[in-house]
Chains A and B, each alone.
Chain A
Amino acid sequence: MSEIADKVKAIIVEKLGVEESEVTPEASFTNDLGADSLDTVELIMEFEKEFNISIPDDQAENIGTVGQAISYLEENVK
């Protein structure tokens, strides 16, 4: 697994208080991991901070699962 994927999972575990085993690529933040809309905003901000990038709102809207977050970051983080 990539270093990015590890970091993403660690952030999700920390912020949503879920078990690492629940953080599968298909897991949806809201439907599976118990996040509400504010939690999702916070996750995006944490990704931005951790990877020092800016995720535009229209892109952020498409990040709803663990896998989507990892792919987006793998493509966009230099």
Chain B
Amino acid sequence: MPFKRVVITGLGALTPIGNTVQEFWNGLSAGVSGAGPITKFNAEKFRTKFACEVKGLDINQFIPRQEARKMDPFAQYALIVADEAVADAGLNPEQINLDKAGVIWGSGIGGLKTFEDEVKNYATGDGSPRYNPFFIPKMIADSASGLLSIRYGFRGVNYVTVSACASATNAMIDAFNFIRLGRLDIAISGGSEAAVTEAGVGGFNALRALSERNDSPETASRPFDKDRDGFVLGEGAGAIILEEYEHAKARGAKIYAELIGGGMSSDAYHITAPHPEGLGALNVMKDALNDAGIGPEDIDYINVHGTSTPLGDVSEATAIEKVFGEHAYRLNISSTKSMTGHLLGAAGAIESIACLMAMQHNLVPPTINHFTDDEQFNPKLNFTFNKAQERAVNVALSNTFGFGGHNFSVVFRKL
């Protein structure tokens, strides 16, 4: 049985540089930084005192207070972006087979704030175990997909993928596979994360993973720059509606692009450090191209994982040169994390949206904050530094790599 084709028919975004897909794209194309001092808690004693937070969001505009208080922020974010994506797709739940409508969501951490608050409450109490009955259902990472299925009545397969910073891409590839196998007609996929909390910042600080450029938060995320010193923690969510092509056509849906391939690999090397020669990154891009049935020369744009860490950026660039050969110098590369920070488990969702919007507008969003070249990167690589570049973007690839050595890449093509 031949595989069915899978297309993208709806998008939703909530990011540090824009609270809708349109605002997000405006920020991306203009090269705006979403970083600023942390407002969610007093970060005075932390090594890093800034992050890329979501701004100006009134949760109760989207979710009644009574429902919202039973959800961790990462689940609230999921609902907000899924609402945007479902509306964008023009989906009417009454007109689809709900048994073949699924939700596969991604989150690297889940309800960290809820976990912190409840444990802190217990630890500072008199030892009586007064845990809130909503503690567990709020905290568990799969609460997001469960809530989404309840919200839209989707009764098909439903779960959350947990593969650190690759979670959302992992989720999209799973959804892609179910649809092309004919097991689902449609899926809400994507990911959400809300880890700008004391434990989130403190934990990543302890790993020495975060930038500590406290005197200049907005220039701290500088992927592929000589003076990069770690990633900037971000938060938010992205939702992507994946739909079987004939199903989308039959209901006259607007189609952004086709998802043509998903790559998967593991570093099998170290729990946090990337493979020094980028073996996992190399394998995942090759696997994605192979799955898509295209050659390296077909790719116009790579939205890289590019977190702005000293080691990660080098291993990814090395892998790109190995996979793409001479074509590596003709395609555009950019790290939109230079603007959004690193949304961890949601990164793959918003970065796929960045690819899809780049294809719509034939404009490659930049890698901002480039000040000093690093001799570790071949100057022939075009990282789209500092300013968006116009070019025909027909096929785009998005990389995501997670702690644990999880690597996932997706390839989108214009119809």
- Residues on A lying within 8 angstroms of B by beta carbon are 16-17, 38, 41-42, 45, 48-49
Contact = CB atoms under 8 A, between A and B. Distances in A.
Contacts, number: 16
Of the candidates B64, B65, B132, the one having the most CB atoms from chain A within 10 angstroms of its own CB is B132
A42 B134 contact: yes
B130 A45 contact: yes
A42 B134 CA distance: 8
B120 to A, nearest CB: 15
B130 A17 contact: no
Most buried by A among B66, B134, B137: B66
A49 B132 contact: no
A41 B66 contact: no
A42 B64 contact: no
A42 B132 CA distance: 6
Contact of A17 (B65, B134, B137): B65
B379 interface: no
B66 to A, nearest CB: 3
B336 to A, nearest CB: 38
Contacts of A48: 130
A49 B130 contact: yes
Nearest to B128: A54
Contacts of B56: none
A17 B64 contact: yes
Contacts of A38: 133-134, 137
A-B residue pairs, 4 tightest by C-beta: A17-B66, A41-B133, A38-B133, A42-B133
B133 A45 contact: yes
Contacts of A41: 133
A57 to B, nearest CB: 13
Contacts of B133: 38, 41-42, 45
Interface string B44-74: 0000000000000000000011100000000
A41 to B, nearest CB: 4
A27 B66 CA distance: 18
B33 to A, nearest CB: 37
A41 B66 CA distance: 16
Interface in B102-144: 130, 132-134, 137
Nearest to B131: A45
Contacts of B66: 16-17
Contacts of B130: 45, 48-49
A16 B134 CA distance: 13
A42 B133 CA distance: 6
Nearest to A18: B66
Nearest to A48: B130
A49 B132 CA distance: 11
